[in-house]
Structure 1
Amino acid sequence: MEHSVLDSCQLTTHTDTANVRIVSQSSQNPAVYPTITAAVQAAVSGDTILIQPGMYHESLVIDKAVSLIGTGTLTDVVIDVVDGPCLSLQAHGIHIEGLSLRSHFVFPPDHSDATCIALGLTEIVGCDLSSPSATCLLVSGPEAVVTVRRCQIHDSQAYGVLVDLVGTCNIEHSVIQDHARADVAVLQNSTVSLLDCTLCHGAGYGVLVKDCSQGRLRHCDIYGHAEAGVLIAQGSVADIVLCTIHDGRGPGVVFCQDAHGLMEQCRVYRTTSSGVEIRQQSNPIIRQCKIFQGKWSGILIGERGNGIVEYCELFANAMAGIDVTGGSDPVIRFCRIHQHVYPGIAVFLGGRGTVVDCDLSKNMQGPLLVDAGSYIMQERNHS
């Protein structure tokens, strides 16, 4: 393996500036670097550093536009570090591929500790990131724009991916799982985009978007979390399209604290709490979604929540299809709400709303329950 790679690449000496450099712990070739650190120090922008299989105990600072590429399978090249990041990426144009990155912190880590810290324009492809005690990937600052593709990010006691301080992260075709706080967290005016990703089995949230941040989720499978599968809070905005959120111990999707956004063509099912919650003056659009087999309400709108629910189907949830409470005032239209033991829509504790052109038939306690002090305006509903 080593012979073929060395023969097929243009090697460099420690003094020239050709574009390929080889790192190997076993080679006796003087043109091959014994450590990744040595290769990075000798490299110039535009260089590619090929890393041969091995366990490398190096905490690397990358401050030039180079590519680090592991050879062999994903588990062949491992960067393993105690009490520090494996990679600190501090330049634009960095490409990381085919590496396993593992950090171990003996002392409890702080907010900034992570396996990989990205501060510039970076691409991370086909890597495995894990940390038993810290965040796996931290994307921080307005200069940080990171693209993650085909990665496995798993097993941290903090966040899988944390994007903060106006950072941007685009994650595609990746699996993010088994994190204590959130698989993906987006804080402090930051932005995340998730495409064709699986997020699962976390002890916290699947996706947490707060502090006036933005989230875009497409074709994601989100399941098995102790908290909400997706939580949007504190003036944040999220578009959640063609996603499946299911089998969590908390609610499926929560909009709270003046959150906004669009949830469209999603399936939410078998959640222990409500499928969707809209609370605290939040005002999203829920469109063409199926919400079913939850152990509480299909949709709970409370604490002066608003929003539009349209063209949705809600069925076989343990409580009402939609609960409206606490001064909330949604618009519900063109929905089919059926197969509930409780009413299709229950309005109480000063709830209000508008229900138009909905099919509310086949609910055991009737189509609508409106208690004293609450009010629903309804037109052209079938019951």
Structure 2
Amino acid sequence: MSGKPAAFMSYVRFNDEHDDGLLTQLRERLGTEVRAQTGEEFSIFQDRNDVTWGQNWQLRIDEALNEVTLLLVIITPSLFRSPACRAEVTRFLEREAELGRPDLILPVYYISARELDDPVLREDDDLARVLASRQYADWRELRFEPFTSPLVRKALAQLASRMRDTFWHPPAVSRARSAGTAETTEAAAGSTEQTDGLTKASVTAKAEPPTHVVDPYHRGDFTTVGAAISAAKPGDRILVRPGLYEEGLVIDKPLEILGAGPVADIEIRAKDADALMFRTSIGRVANLTLRQIGGRWYGVDITQGRLELEGCDISSQGLAGVAIRNGADPRLRRNQIHDNQGGGVFVYDDGMGTLEDNEIADNTSSGVVITRGGNPTLRRNQIHDGKASGVVIQNNGMGTLEDNDIGSNTLTGVVITTGGNPTLRRNQIHDNKASGVFVYENGMGTLEDNEIADNTFTGVEIKTGGNPTLRRNQIHDNKAGGVFVYDNGLGTLEDNDDIAGNTMSGVVITTGGNPTLRRNQIHDNGEFGVFVYDDGMGTLEDNDIASNNLAGVAITSGGNPTLRRNQIHDGSAGGVFVYDNGLGTLEDNDIASNTLTGVEIKTGGNPTLRANRINRNAYQAVRIWDGGCGVIEDNDLTANTSGAWNIAEECEGNVTRAHNKE
């Protein structure tokens, strides 16, 4: 190993396990990227419990100080609670001092940590102060992207480039010094200070920004936040002590404004103005209460740039709590956004942003509205108890919603309309007073791996040209049906493995609804598995429709679906029931083991059945009576308890039978 550059990765194993080995993959891919950029083998040692780690650590740290060795620090909340990680950083700080190198610790910010983000906690934590002084690579959003993503690949290449440049950068001070270099040695030693066991290299630390203190008791530099903003220069920090500040803030330069105390005790209260207007390139606001108490204004209005808004309590009696517009791309984390008159968060006119771990609750209008090209990312938010819907995406709005809890809203959990086209993954959408998801008026969207349950109406409602794609969702225990497609609604439903336990039917298609259903599990619903009526259509392929309380599939009143290769079995009534002028084409299905008849046709029902296997039903394979019709060809009708046929005499002339196996 001697003579070759290498690195150690300081991390907490739990974080790697929690993310299914992503940190291991990061280490592997980073190592190969460094090799690609240098043409040389490069080792990143990962596990401190491995013998190789221990041997190489001792060799690199204690015996080979002239070799370039880096410490890749994965910053998470758990890092600050790990004595082993703290010890590793301490030893590398000592190594930097011995080599006169300011660049041997490379932090990767992986999961937001209060110790790093909160200025009060950071000041009290030696490790946090050291890591904050370094230029870190921010992976807090990239951890949710696949390694094949161009953004991730570019970030890997940039991090590898930093490592490569570190290897090729000669040490500032040689370890071997003669007596004639004592002055240099003394200067290098004087460039570090000991801080409770952590050696802090001043050559690497960023200078603390000029700080202005706002105190209403005249114990600081200013008594109003606005005065501090006016006096501050770009890059300054403003600390706000507890008090009531009756003013609206306008941030028009890069600043950091931090509450110094309990958030409930530090209140910005504005009337006839935004509580906070942000109109600059970058900034950070944390730990404030922001109240807008009158007039048509926002609690926080973000009109450009990237504001980091963290740990704030936000409400507005005028418009929305937070507005994001005109291409602004903020980061909102751990805020309370509540009791707003105009909704919680309003993203419009190409606004973007990342909203993580916020509570958005008890708003008079919808919790989140995305419109006119808005395209935010929402992760792990609680969006609940709104007086309207949870999330509304409309007028060509977009957005990515992942791992949110959207529940107990007065109307629908998620509304998608007028060209809205979001992506929803792994959300909990539950206990809303209307439907879970409502897609209409040409709304679109991709819904994957969500749980949509216990809503008062339907789990998913699609109408008037709505055309979403639903994959791998759990749609269960809704008080009406599971999925309701009507008034020319469309949609593609694939691999949803639990459309179940709904009080009425699993899937209802009516009034021109025409969805495509493939490979879904539709079972244990209170009425039919699938109910097609009043000119509903639809294509159903390769679904498993089982154990429903009434027929597996019911077709009536001009309903005309196409069913292919479905398993329709173990229903508490019949397999397929076609009546009152229902139509339909059934091909290559297995209709088996139902409590009553395999297929029942009556009162003008007129389906076409071809090449189906209708077996092991408790009554006949096919029963046709009371004016029923149909074309029944090339089917296997064997092994039913009461035989293949039960056709009423008056219906014989209405039925075409050919090539069936009886």
Fold conserved between structures, TM > 0.5? yes
- CA shift, 1:213, in A, is 0.8
Structure 2 partner of 1:315: 500
Which residue in the other structure is 1:364 paired with? 549
Greater helix percent: which structure? 2
Which sections of structure 1, spanning at least 5 residues, go unmatched? 9-17
CA distance, structure 2, for counterparts of residue 100 and residue 59 of structure 1: 12
Match of 1:42 in 2: 231
**Which residue is equivalent to 2:252?**
63
Tell me the CA shift for residue 28 of structure 1: 4.1
What SS is found at the alignment partner of 2:360? strand
State how far apart, in whole Å, the 2-side matches of 1:53 and 1:269 are: 43
1:66-107 CA distances to partner (integer Å, 9 max, x unpaired)? 1111111221311112232111111111211111111111xx
Correspondent of 1:202 among 383, 386, 410: 386
Residues 1:351 and 2:540 aligned together? no
The amino acid of 2:511's aligned partner reads: G
Letter of the 1:124 partner, please give it.
Answer: L
Identity value in percent = 29
Q: Tell me the amino acid that sits aligned with residue 282 of structure 1.
A: G
Separation of aligned partners in 1, 2:318 and 2:238: 29
Structure 1 residue 86 and structure 2 residue 275: aligned? yes
Q: Offset of 1:27 from its aligned partner?
A: 3.8
Give me the CA root mean square deviation: 1.6
| 1:24 is aligned to 2:242 | no
Give the aligned partner of residue 12 of structure 1. Answer: none
Counterpart residue identity of residue 343, structure 1: F
Q: Which amino acid aligns with 1:314?
A: I
| Structure 2 counterpart of 1:341 | 526
Question: Which piece of structure 1 moves more, 186-195 or 146-155?
Answer: 186-195
Task: Tell me which residue corresponds to 1:13.
Answer: none
Counterpart code for 2:331: T
- Residue 95, structure 1, aligned to residue 279, structure 2: no
Q: CA deviation digits over 1:82-135, x for unaligned, max 9?
A: 232111111111211111111111xxx44xx11111111111111110124432
Question: C-alpha separation between the residues in 1 aligned to 2:286 and 2:304?
Answer: 16
Residue matched to 2:395? 211
For residues 347 and 215 of structure 1, the distance between their equivalents in structure 2, rounded to whole angstroms, comes to 33
Number of equivalences: 361
* In structure 2, C-alpha distance between the alignment counterparts of 1:91 and 1:48, rounded to whole Å: 15
Match of 1:289 among 462, 473, 476: 473
Q: Secondary structure at the match of 2:321?
A: strand
2:600 is the alignment partner of 1:381: no
Q: Which residue identity does 1:40 align to in structure 2?
A: I
Decide which moves more: 355-364 or 91-100. Answer: 355-364
In structure 1, C-alpha distance between the alignment counterparts of 2:542 and 2:372, rounded to whole Å: 40
Alpha-carbon distance between aligned partners in 1 of 2:353 and 2:527, rounded to the nearest angstrom: 43
Superposed displacement of residue 381, structure 1 = 1.8
Partners in 1 of 2:511 and 2:222 — Cα distance? 66
CA distance in 2, matches of 1:145, 1:340: 44
Equivalent-residue separation in structure 2 for 1:285 and 1:164 (angstroms): 24
Report the counterpart of residue 586 of structure 2 in structure 1.
none
Which residue in the other structure is 2:513 paired with?
Answer: 328
Alignment of 1:94-173 (within 5 A): 94-105=283-294, 109-110=295-296, 113-121=297-305, 122-142=307-327, 144-173=328-357
Equivalent AA in structure 2 for residue 243 of structure 1: N
2:390 partner SS: strand
> 3-state DSSP class of the match of 1:39?
helix
Moved over 4 A (4+): none
2:416 maps to which of 204, 210, 232: 232
By how many angstroms is 1:376 displaced? 1.7
1:11 alignment counterpart: none
Q: Larger strand proportion, structure 1 or 2?
A: 1
- Structure 1 residues 47-56 or 82-91, which shifts more? 82-91
Structure 2 equivalent of residue 304 of structure 1: 488
